[in-house]
Amino acid sequence: MDPIIDLDFIDNRTPEQATAAASCDTKVSVETNTGKTRKLYIESYGCQMNFSDSEIVSSIMHEQGFDTTSNIEHADVVFLNTCSIREKAETTVRNRLGQINYYKRKKPSMVIGVLGCMAERLKKSLLEEEKIVDLVVGPDAYRDLPNLINEVDGGQKAVNVLLSREETYADINPIRLNSNGVSAFISIMRGCDNMCSFCVVPFTRGRERSRDAHSIVREAEGLVAQGFKEVTLLGQNVDSYKWESEDGTEKVNFAQLLELVAQLSPDLRVRFSTSHPKDITDEVLYTMKKYDNICKYIHLPAQSGNSRVLELMNRTYDRAWYLNRVDAIRAILGEECGISSDMIAGFCSETEEEHQDTLSLMEYVQYDYSYMFFYSERPGTLAARKLEDDIPLEVKKRRLAEIIEKQRECSLNRNKLDIGRMHRVLVENFSKKSADFLSGRNDQNKVVIFPKKHYKKGDYVNVFVNDCSVGTLFGEAVN
Ligand code: SAH
Ligand code: SF4
Ligand code: F3S
């Protein structure tokens, strides 16, 4: 998923970097002081779906009498909204629970809850494994939080990990915790019906369901009215979005939903993530082409460049199909359309030649960037049950390093093509390095840094790019 969307890509960093990343990538509550009597502190891990869920949880808890706090020591209730995608994601949460124990000892009344995918995967065994946990709540059970909190207040431990076929939280107005006031995320669907053999998501998030299109458009309208300039439509597989009204008179597919949101305002940028290569249609590509405000950037995870490995992964497409989709993107949207990927190194039985196929696919596509991982076996998945995790860790790591190196080359090639051109940049913040510079993103989702002059957060600025690094474009604002 997107940079901010998948925050657990620490497998490819040094332990020092991983620690730094884990602390800055983890999203923590903001302060909402509306005079409520109790305080909630919530930390989110994993993908953007989880971050978006934390905003729903905060809204439900707000109704129940909680403001959010960014200071854990002020909290009456502490929630960790967790991820299970790789073993490391779960280890991070367990380590964090160890640290939180310190605060709980100082304030024994503090309620500790584990939410999200790890809660769903481990269910009530989490209560036995992690003694400080009072509450275990799966991703489809957040409406039950008020009851569960009452149970805990009454001195019991509480668990609800029921998955639902209908829940989309469509009517809940999220409290924007993770926002810079410029861009926001809108969940358009939940769950996943694909059964990629390596992946835990179908088990932790349940069956795929699409949210009422009207409620999505209303949420986007509300954001426009509040001055937001960019929305990202979120789902594990947005191209299979399909909503039908109860009386069957209205049917909306993903291309149509994109169009409805894009029509709200020409000043609203529309992004989406994640696209599945088996489902992305030419209709979606033509809709992107038709609207200037739909960003020309597609996250299209390949996972591997080899057809046999893709089959073992149960991705349901092969290399030729994937390349055909990339060619369609280039033909319809042009060379400048940004494409990114997720890659897994060292999946079960992957040979050196098959690994080389991943590198050659990357060379062909010239991804703008990728999220790269080595394979981490997850209990209960198809791969864990049927395939042997037989690639030694050193080999996985070496292959991952080669994939990362190839991506650096591709990113630099692609960024160099952006030099000498004007880019429309939506300003999101000050540059991390200096308050004299602003940071924003161009249409292709690349970070662009330029001297501030009189510009500010939320402005669209034309920036002439004159330099680049592997991860960033640099330029000057032009009036
Ligand atoms: N729905 C998205 C992926 C969501 S998970 C899609 O289909 O593309 C984000 C990424 O984590 C995946 O694309 C995959 O590259 C990686 N991932 C998932 N399970 C993994 C595992 N067991 N080991 C290593 N990486 C994994
Ligand atoms: Fe996991 Fe595959 Fe679903 Fe993505 S499409 S969430 S990788 S099962
Ligand atoms: Fe997301 Fe992690 Fe769950 S990637 S869907 S939070 S397992």
| DSSP state at residue 260 | H
Report the run of H or E that residue 186 belongs to, with start and end: strand 183-187
377 CA: nearest ligand 1 atom: 22
Binding site as annotated, residues for [4Fe-4S] cluster: 47, 83, 117, 192, 196, 199
**Which ligand neighbours the alpha carbon of 46 most closely?**
3
Predicted local confidence at residue 287, as pLDDT: 98
- Nearest CA residue ID for atom 4, ligand 2: 236
301 CA: nearest ligand 1 atom: 8
Summarize the confidence of residues 232-256 as an average pLDDT.
96
Nearest to 354 by CA among 409, 304, 407: 304
Domains parsed from the chain with CATH numbers: 10-160 (3.40.50.12160), 180-294 (3.30.750.210), 296-417 (3.30.750.200), 422-477 (2.40.50.140)
The CA 237 to ligand 2 mean position distance, Å, reads 7
Does 344 sit in the ligand 1 pocket, CB within 6 Å? yes
315 CA: nearest ligand 2 atom: 2
Predicted local confidence at residue 27, as pLDDT: 63
- Nearest CA residue ID for atom 1, ligand 3: 47
Single pTM value for the model:
0.92
**Which ligand neighbours the alpha carbon of 302 most closely?**
1
- For residue 250, pLDDT beyond 60: yes
Summarize the confidence of residues 180-202 as an average pLDDT.
96
Predicted local confidence at residue 35, as pLDDT: 76
Output the CA–CA distances (angstroms, integers) from residue 16 to 13, 86, 94, 393, 405, in the order listed. Answer: 8, 19, 18, 19, 20
Whether the upstream peptide bond of residue 274 has omega within 30° of 0, thus cis, is yes
Does 234 sit in the ligand 1 pocket, CB within 6 Å? no
**Which ligand neighbours the alpha carbon of 358 most closely?**
1
Does 121 sit in the ligand 1 pocket, CB within 6 Å? no
Does 303 sit in the ligand 1 pocket, CB within 6 Å? yes
274 CA: nearest ligand 2 atom: 4
Q: Which of 16 and 417 is assigned the larger pLDDT?
A: 417
89 CA: nearest ligand 3 atom: 2
**Using 50, 70 and 90 to split pLDDT, how confident is the model at 30?**
confident
- For residue 22, pLDDT beyond 70: no
- Counts for the chain of helices (H) and strands (E), in that order: 15, 22
123: left (phi over 0), alpha (psi -120 to 50) or beta: left
- For residue 223, pLDDT beyond 50: yes
Report the run of H or E that residue 82 belongs to, with start and end: strand 77-82
The CA 89 to ligand 3 mean position distance, Å, reads 9
**CB-CB neighbours of 124 under 10 Å:** 14
Summarize the confidence of residues 205-232 as an average pLDDT.
97
Does 376 sit in the ligand 1 pocket, CB within 6 Å? yes
Ligand 2 surroundings by CB, under 6 angstroms: 192, 194, 196, 199, 201-202, 236-237, 276
DSSP string, 356-402: HHHHHHHHHHT-SEEEEEE----TTSHHHHHS---S-HHHHHHHHHH
**Which ligand neighbours the alpha carbon of 198 most closely?**
1
pLDDT digits (tens, 9 = 90+) for 133-170: 999 999 999 999 999 999 999 999 999 999 999 999 99
The CA 275 to ligand 1 mean position distance, Å, reads 12
pLDDT digits (tens, 9 = 90+) for 419-474: 999 999 999 999 999 999 999 999 999 999 999 999 999 999 999 999 999 999 99
Lowest model confidence (mean pLDDT) among 9-13, 128-132, 297-301, 406-410: 9-13
- Nearest CA residue ID for atom 4, ligand 3: 47
Does 372 sit in the ligand 1 pocket, CB within 6 Å? no
The CA 54 to ligand 1 mean position distance, Å, reads 21
237 CA: nearest ligand 1 atom: 1
Predicted local confidence at residue 21, as pLDDT: 30
Contact 450, 475 (CB under 8 A): yes
Ligand 3 surroundings by CB, under 6 angstroms: 46-47, 49-50, 83-85, 116-117, 200-201, 204-205
6 CA: nearest ligand 3 atom: 4
